[in-house]
Structure 1
Amino acid sequence: MFSSADKVAGQGVGSAYLELMGLLKQYGQQHFKVTVNKFGAADISHYHTIDPQFFVSTFSKKRGRKIGYVHFLPETIHGSLKLPKLFEKIFDKYIIAFYKRMDQIVVVNPIFIEKLVQYGIPRQKVAYIPNFVSKSEFYPQSDTKKALTRGKLGIDLDRFVVFGDGQVQKRKGIDDFVTLAKRHPEITFVWAGGFSFGKITDGYEHYKKIVADPPVNLLFTGIVPRKELVDYYNMCNLFLLPSYDELFPMSVLEAFSCGTPVLLRDLPLYQAIIAGFYAKGRDVDDLEAQILQIKADFEQQAHLHRLALKAADKFSEEHLAKIWQDFYEMQAQNKPSQLVADLLKN
């Protein structure tokens, strides 16, 4: 494994990496010997981040079969970081150059296969394996525990709470989250996350002012340790992610695993992986209507709760453990990715 993803708190790449490492520790110790950021000889080298030293290492014959995990594309970086135009162009080319150094690409969302093909990466090199979360980390809590969390946050038990998390940046739809809070002072809105990449975050100055002086019914918690997020997913009535662009957000899977009703912006990329498990809205007005409808309808809340748990079973670590085991074994034998695609269909 090659990764620096867990060095930056509050971002999904690190969460996905830690989940896979946890899965291999639990299910794969009898099958694989795993090292992290060691440049010795290996049968398989799995790159989670695109650090320059990792790029250099791809030219070594010791690397074995090189696997690149695609957590982002140039266009998704554009919505997250504000970089000088010249550096942005260079960085875009570097991202794709790194992916082209791989023998095998793994995407977390199948709609990105075609985009990688457009960047010049052969289709047969790309396989789809979805993200997942551990049910031992994210799970439904008791009403007592939910009440304790609300007490710590100063939120009344009878308040309807809408929760979202992720980096505070334009791509995440923070402006719509704030607008919804302003429109509905009778609802408490909570956002867990911060500026993981500091001043180069897209819209940093704008969002810094919002975080410093939010509406009275909107709480920005800052970056919350991942092990504590389970409390937030459980204490809320509805999880809302109004992002304009995503790959496969870990936060949605975490909410599902807690049985939390989920509301998302209606994006085509979700339809390929989690269609039917969540409520959706096209824009801020549509999201507002959905929130009010869910707030007023206990049966719909119960229905979305059941859908969340159903989705959690689909993307559980138990389901994905066998897929990753077979995938790595295929890679060690230089088997084509199409076999992985067939496996996933089953």
Structure 2
Amino acid sequence: LSHADMAEAQGVLSVYREQTRILEKYGKEDFELSYNKLFGKYDLYHIHSVNPSFYFFTLKKRKPTIVFVHFLPDTLDGSVKLPKFAFKAFKWYVTSFYKKAKEIVVVNPSFKKELARFGINEEKITYIPNFVSRSSFFEKTKEEKIALKKEYGFPLDKKTVIAVGQVQTRKGVLDFIRTAERCPDLHFVWAGGFSFKGITDGYKELKAEMEKERPNVKFLGIQPREKMNDLYNAADIFFLPSYNELFPMALLEACNSGLPYLVRDLDLYKDILLGDYLRAKDVMGFETLLHKLAKEESFYEEAKRYSKAIADTYTEEKNYLLWKDFYTKVFEKYRQKK
């Protein structure tokens, strides 16, 4: 169950599409699938988005429901801007949604304890990571990359740094701009826009910043997902200055496309990025590491090996087996309770 397509170009929608794709690809012999149909004799309900129709119909009834947590109540801060009373009510609603689920899946193990802070029983929380398809995101040849740089108008004589995500305060857009200003010898592009339009946190300030002319910064707007592999291959470095994430799909896409990556130094990455990864705490740190990636080939190649480790770990084949095992356990658990 998902209505994530109500807002374009967001990670929740990408995760939903990836998961339904692997269930159809690998699970035809294991499961019978139905999409967005509330009425029927189903063994399990798997909910991806926190829409009221799913809450009132499914969660109010005694059905084996699984809720996939794509964001925490706290991550709403810096994402959307609502009147105080509405924002407080929405956070209460999201927390209630998660509490009423029979089972919860998180994409980052560190969020088990975060959810427990809201009174959610850790015993009903399972960790299953995100993944992306290698047939959709992969590294192209050197010749193809040069052709893509020309197609997108990226310079051939300097490195292109790409950031991907919604334009909102939480994503670190202002630090992206400040970093670009300190690195005039690099080219910076941001793929993404205001998926939630005017209620995006920081909308007016960010829109004004985006409209300023800067010689080495370009905001590309919302891009079709089928075009993103080309964009990654046209770039040289992936940059994610976000202040808060769960398990960013864009990072997985960039790793599968062969890009080295730089992220903000956040505790939440420690459990999912396998130990070795490039991170910095602030704009000065970002500037230092981006220049090192641009100028030192051995450092660049080492960073690419970190990306390959991520791509090799979070594969669709491994992910399907995790979901198959999880669905089977949940089915058996609630069948025994009938």
TM above 0.5, yes or no, is yes
Deviations 1:21-52 (A, max 9, x none): 11111111111111111012210000100100
Indicate the residue corresponding to 1:58 in structure 2: 58
Q: CA offset at residue 237 of structure 1?
A: 1.4
- For residues 152-187 of structure 1, the C-alpha deviation after alignment (integer angstroms, 9 at most, x for no partner) is 221222221110010011111111110111122221
Q: Which amino acid aligns with 2:231?
A: Y
- Which residue number in structure 2 is paired with residue 122 of structure 1? 121
**Over 6 Å off, 4+ runs:** none
1:147 offset after TM fit, Å? 1.5
**Using the alignment, how far apart are the partners of 2:314 and 2:234 within structure 1?**
22
Contact 1:65/1:334 (8 A) holds in 2:
no
SS of equivalent residue, structure 1 residue 333 = helix
Aligned to 1:49: 49
Is the partner of 1:33 in helix, strand or coil?
coil
1:59 CA drift (Å) = 4.6
Q: Which residue in 1 is equivalent to 2:70?
A: 71
Alignment of 1:139-158 (within 5 A): 139-158=138-157
1:91-149 CA distance string (max 9 Å, x none): 11100111111110000111110111111111111110011111011001112221222
TM-score by length of 2: 0.96
Deviates more, 1:140-149 or 1:284-293: 140-149
Whole-Å separation in 2 of the counterparts to 1:108 and 1:19: 14
Partners of 2:220 and 2:139 in 1: CA distance: 21
Q: What secondary structure sits across from 1:80 in the alignment? A: coil
Which one-letter code corresponds to 2:43 in the other structure? Answer: D
Question: Which residue type is aligned with residue 6 of structure 2?
Answer: K
- The equivalent residue for 1:287 is 286
- State the superposition RMSD in angstroms: 1.4
The residue identity in structure 1 corresponding to 2:300 is Q
Higher mean C-alpha displacement, 48-57 vs 145-154: 145-154
Q: Contact 2:149–2:156 (CA<8 Å) still a contact in 1?
A: yes
TM-score (normalised: structure 1): 0.94
Match of 2:263 in 1: 264
Does the Cα contact within 8 Å between 1:277 and 1:308 map onto a contact in 2? no
Decide whether the 8 Å contact of 1:131 with 1:315 is kept in 2. Answer: yes
Deviation of the 1:277 alpha carbon? 4.1
Distance in 2 (CA, whole Å) between partners of 1:86 and 1:59 is 24
SS at match of 2:218: strand
Structure 2 CA distance, aligned partners of 1:310 and 1:260?
A: 12
Paired position in structure 1 for 2:308: 309
Mapping for residues 72-151 of structure 1, pairs under 5 Å: 72-151=71-150
**CA apart distance, 1:10:** 1.4
C-alpha separation between the residues in 2 aligned to 1:35 and 1:60? Answer: 20
SS of equivalent to 2:333:
coil
Is this contact kept in 1: 2:138–2:229, CA < 8 A?
A: yes
Hey, what does 1:17 align to over in structure 2?
A: 16
CA distance in 2 between partners of 1:49 and 1:41 (Å): 21
> Residues 59 and 65 of structure 2 are in contact (CA less than 8 Å); yes or no, is this contact kept in structure 1?
no
Equivalent residues in 2 for 1:232-243, closer than 5 Å: 232-243=231-242
Give 2:27's aligned amino acid.
G
CA 1:335–1:142 in 2, change beyond 3 Å: closer, same or farther?
A: farther
Question: Any conservation in 2 of the 1:76–1:245 contact (CA below 8 Å)?
Answer: yes
Q: Any stretches of 5+ residues in structure 2 without a counterpart? A: none
C-alpha separation between the residues in 1 aligned to 2:174 and 2:288?
A: 17
Which amino acid in 2 is paired with 1:58?
Answer: T
The aligned counterpart of 2:244 is 245
Q: CA deviation at 1:9?
A: 1.4
Match of 2:165 in 1: 166
What is the CA deviation profile of residues 254-283 of structure 1, one whole-angstrom value per residue up to 9, with x for unaligned ones? 111111101000100000111434211111
